[in-house]
């Protein structure tokens, strides 16, 4: 039976098992952004000829299914590179749903949210987690349980929120929602954690009124704390 590994990268070196899997993989599937991250790993030079850059999740799934159907061999190994923890609002869920649990194994890295909380020195076991990242393709914006406009009410209920953003639903847009929100009892403090794990990583702390006037690099994570 073919085996599909979803391996998280971005924050720490691959462990021994991850290194072995990468080196044995017939194909290593990556987005453009993660390709640049993977280039910095010591294993990259050994396997770069087997890396395929696919920026569309649907196309990634289609490629995996086509190789499973075409090759029909027990030894086929395909690795999908993911950001951080693949099962935290990541591609891991989609790969498992489409390919099946019996074929898929997930090897996570640290999640971007875990890194973000460590940077601002706040515990994260009492936070509410949400994603307003609707995918890279404007024509295929995915449906999410919560919208950006729901954030002020969620903060009033949970007091601490971690938010995965995208280029459209960005920190300034989140700040704009707070500035115009009727939930004035909540005085939020925003942390914008940009490019975590990159050399130009940056952490910005401010009120929504301040964050509203700024622009930020992607990828970023926003943490909002109730200031009252």
Task: Kindly state the DSSP code that residue 146 receives in the 8-state scheme.
Answer: S
**Token pair 């935290």 is at which residue?**
88
In the chain, where do the E strands start and end?
3-9, 27-30, 51-53, 77-83, 104-107, 128-131, 160-164, 188-194, 202-206, 220-226
Contact by Cβ (8 Å): 65, 99:
yes
Please, which residues have CB within 8 angstroms of residue 72's CB and are 6 or more apart in sequence? none
HSE-CB of 200 using CA atoms within 13 angstroms: 5
Identify the band that residue 101 occupies on the pLDDT scale cut at 50, 70 and 90. Answer: very high
pTM metric for this prediction: 0.88
pLDDT tens string 114-170? 999 999 999 999 999 999 986 655 444 455 678 899 999 999 999 999 999 999 999
Residue 199 corresponds to which tokens in the numbers above? 């050399």
pLDDT tens string 161-218? 999 999 999 999 999 999 988 766 667 999 999 999 888 999 999 999 999 999 999 9
The whole-angstrom distance between residue 151's C-alpha and the CA centroid of its chain comes to 19
């Amino acid at each position: 039976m073919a085996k599909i590994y979803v391996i998280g990268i971005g924050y720490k070196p691959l462990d021994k098992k991850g290194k072995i899997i990468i080196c044995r993989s017939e194909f290593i599937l990556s987005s453009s952004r993660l390709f640049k991250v993977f280039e910095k790993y010591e294993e990259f030079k050994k396997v770069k000829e087997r890396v395929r850059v696919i920026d569309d999740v649907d196309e990634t799934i289609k490629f995996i299914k086509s190789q499973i159907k075409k090759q029909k061999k027990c030894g086929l190994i395909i690795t999908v590179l993911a950001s951080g923890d693949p099962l935290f609002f990541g591609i891991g869920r989609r790969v498992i749903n489409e390919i099946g649990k019996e074929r898929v194994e997930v090897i996570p890295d640290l999640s971007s949210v875990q890194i973000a909380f460590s940077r601002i020195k706040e515990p994260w076991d009492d936070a509410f987690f949400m994603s307003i990242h609707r995918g890279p393709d404007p024509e295929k914006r995915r449906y999410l349980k919560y919208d950006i406009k729901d954030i002020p009410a969620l903060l009033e209920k949970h007091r601490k929120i971690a938010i995965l953003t995208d280029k459209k639903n960005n920190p300034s847009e989140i700040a704009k929602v707070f500035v115009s929100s009727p939930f004035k009892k909540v005085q939020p403090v925003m942390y914008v954690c940009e490019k975590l794990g990159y050399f130009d990583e940056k952490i910005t702390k401010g009120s929504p009124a301040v964050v509203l006037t700024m622009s930020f690099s992607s990828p970023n994570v926003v943490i909002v704390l109730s200031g009252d």
